[in-house]
Amino acid sequence: MANSLHKISLAALAALACATPAPSPAAPAAAAPAVQQPDRAKLPITVEADSSDFDYRNEALRFRNVRITQGEIRIEAQQAAASGLDFENSRWQFEGEVRITVTGGFLSSDKATVDFRNNLVSRADIVGRPAQFEQKRETQLARGRAARIDYDLTAGTVKLVGDAWLSDGRNEITGPALTYDLGAQRVLAESGPAKDRVRIVINPKPRPEAEPPRNPQ
């Protein structure tokens, strides 16, 4: 049986508790607003490390306890390797306590591959046990974890693959793969075999405790 796709708004999970998902994918959401600041490419990129090793013959760079910063974007790891200090078009490998701070949130993992395009972080693919992310959107705090997380900063999407779990702070959704649109705050959930079906947990809102009866005068 072919995989089914469901597009779900985290803010409206409760309304879907009794609904039957449509057999075909929902219409594509409107394009999400850009996550990056439009002028961030003009900001300098700073690389700091406890130590560095430049192998000019093989065009390889290695850093220990490195931090790369550009505006609000920050990447930290115990080790990093790259083919050169060219942020126009380069790929970096990070290992050991990787933490990527982005606007309003962060990602953490054991390993990460980060692509720089046109002096900007364009994409970060992280793996861990598990890889995790957190993003604050207005009054909502989205948190997720999976074996691998692909964060496309240009598109404004986070894809969680492998035992994926996503929460808006009260409701939860799990599945083999979940794609979270940061701008539209929507989730595309991909189901697999019966044991890997999409699962939504709707937690009831807490009710205010009733006041104890007052003693008669």
Residue 157, domain extent: 5-17+45-201
| Burial zone of 143 (CB within 10 Å; 0-12 exposed, 13-18 middle, 19+ buried) | middle
Q: How far apart are CA 68 and CA 45, in angstroms?
A: 7
| 22 within some domain | no
| 68 within some domain | yes
pTM of the model: 0.71
The CATH number assigned to the domain holding 106 equals 2.60.450.10
Q: Over the stretch 38-88, which tens digit does the pLDDT of each residue have?
A: 477 788 899 999 999 988 777 788 999 999 999 889 999 999 999 777 788
61, two tokens:
């760079």
Closest CA to 112 of 146, 84, 76: 76
| 141 within some domain | yes
Contact status, residue 153 vs residue 36, Cβ threshold 8 Å = yes
* Lowest-confidence region among 140-144, 155-159, 163-167, 168-172: 168-172
| 89 within some domain | yes
pLDDT of 117 > 70? The answer is yes
| 83 within some domain | yes
| 33 within some domain | no
Q: How far apart are CA 119 and CA 89, in angstroms?
A: 8
176, two tokens:
């083999």
Please, what is the average pLDDT of the chain?
Answer: 77
| 177 within some domain | yes
Question: What total of structural domains would you count in the chain?
Answer: 1
Residue 148's pLDDT band (cuts 50, 70, 90): very high
Q: Which residues contact 161 (CB under 8 A, 6 or more apart)?
A: 146, 147, 148, 149, 150, 176, 177
